[in-house]
Structure 1
Amino acid sequence: MKKIDFRHYATERLSGFVFYVLIGLIVVLGLLFRLIGYDMPYEYNFDYNAPLLTGAVVTFMLLLTGGTLLLMVCTMIRGMRLNSDENRVVNNIPARRISVCVALGTLLLLVLTFALSSTDALKVNGAAYTDTFWLRASGMFVGTSLLMIVAAIAAVVYGATRYIRKSH
């Protein structure tokens, strides 16, 4: 069997491969979650379901989140090393300044959305959930995700209008 050497893959091909593997895992886990033991009643209150594979779904989400954070830190460190003093400007692009601004901007956005998130109690399975740290943490991730999606859409629109701006 031929050994696959991912170091020689183009970035686009490698990211596409990872994307399809993750989509496959998510679809399989979602189907298993829905098809195996989904209608199991919760032992303390039979009005609620306690799906059998809830732990597997939560563990998978935590692994994805932890892996993403680890990959982000590794990429940031690698980017800082590659854009050291001699590579501050690459092809008239301030690469190091962009890297630092993106890292600090993301950190600032996380801190701001954490600080501004609501701590109002939520009703979960009929009971009030009042843990302020986790309410803020969930609000931070939701708020940051929404703001980053809006920023990504704005960047795509700005990039798509490049040729229109150049022709005037």
Structure 2
Amino acid sequence: MRISLKSIRQLSAEQISTRVLYVLLAVIVLLFGAFFLIGYDIPYDEDPTFNAPMFTDAVLVFIYMLVLATVGITAYAVYRSIKGRDKTSDTINNIPAAKIVWLTTGLTAASLLLTFLLGSSEPVMVNGVKYADVFWLKATDMFINTALILLFVAVCGVVFGLSGYNRKVNLNK
């Protein structure tokens, strides 16, 4: 089976995303399987009470690649959305798309700012050493708490969508 750009262009978005999902799942299962099953109990040179798994670097590089790919795809999607946006209509298929975009962007930005400002700067113990870098402690709290807030809002949106109540309310006002 030969993969070419022409054959990929003939696939639907669902088929492409399904194949990408399967490839990512296979790589993740293989990588984490190797991480935990091959050389996991190797003692750390500087402190033998800690483990230094053999595939730690491979897992970290894979995570960095995923983050970079995600940021790149997100930037490209935003660029395409702004460039190809129909300026005449903010409603697509009777859905207030512009409102949703602005509310999502605003909620994310407000959550990031608020959770950073309210984040804890209390030092924590990491591998027996007190870690007290205020910026990174607050940044960690920011990302964790923003993710929780956005997950909660997403669950509320799904429940609202499944309730049928949204059909009774005119959201295009």
State TM-score, norm by structure 1.
0.85
Cross-structure match for 2:123 = 121
Which residue, 110, 134, 140 being the options, matches 1:108? Answer: 110
- Which of 78, 88, 98 is residue 100 of structure 2 equivalent to? 98
1:41 maps onto 2:70 in alignment: no
Query: Structure 1's 2 and 142: CA in aligned 2 closer, same or farther, altered over 3 A?
Result: closer
Paired residue for 2:28, among 26, 29, 45?
Answer: 26
Letter in 1 for 2:29: V
1:99-118 C-alpha deviation (Å, 9 max, x unpaired): 23322322222222222221
Say if 1:120 and 1:102 are closer, same or farther in 2 by CA, change over 3 A: same
Residue 72 of structure 1 corresponds to which residue in structure 2? 74
1:137 aligns with 2:154: no
Task: Please give the TM-score of this superposition, normalised by the length of structure 2.
Answer: 0.83
1:47-103 deviation per Cα after TM superposition (whole angstroms, max 9, x unaligned): 111112112212221221222122222212211222241343323333233223322
Percent identical across equivalent pairs?
37
Match of 1:88 among 84, 87, 90: 90
User: Greater share of helix residues, 1 or 2?
Assistant: 1
Deviation, 1:39, is 0.7
Residues paired across the two proteins, number: 166
Look up the equivalent residue of 1:44 and give its one-letter code.
E
Change (3 A) 1:81 1:102: farther
Flag structure 1 segments of 5+ consecutive residues without an equivalent: none
Please say if residues 160 and 166 of structure 2, whose CA atoms lie closer than 8 Å, have aligned partners that are also in contact. Answer: no
Q: Which residue of 1 aligns with 2:4?
A: 3
Distance 1:8 1:106 in 2: 35
Go from structure 1 to structure 2 and tell me whether the alpha carbon gap of 1:164 and 1:64 turns closer, same or farther (over 3 Å shift): closer
Structure having the higher strand fraction is: 1
Q: Name the aligned partner's letter for residue 102 of structure 2.
A: V
Gaps of at least 5 residues in structure 2 are: 169-173
**Cα displacement (A) at 1:164:** 9.8
Let me know the Cα RMSD of the aligned residues: 2.3
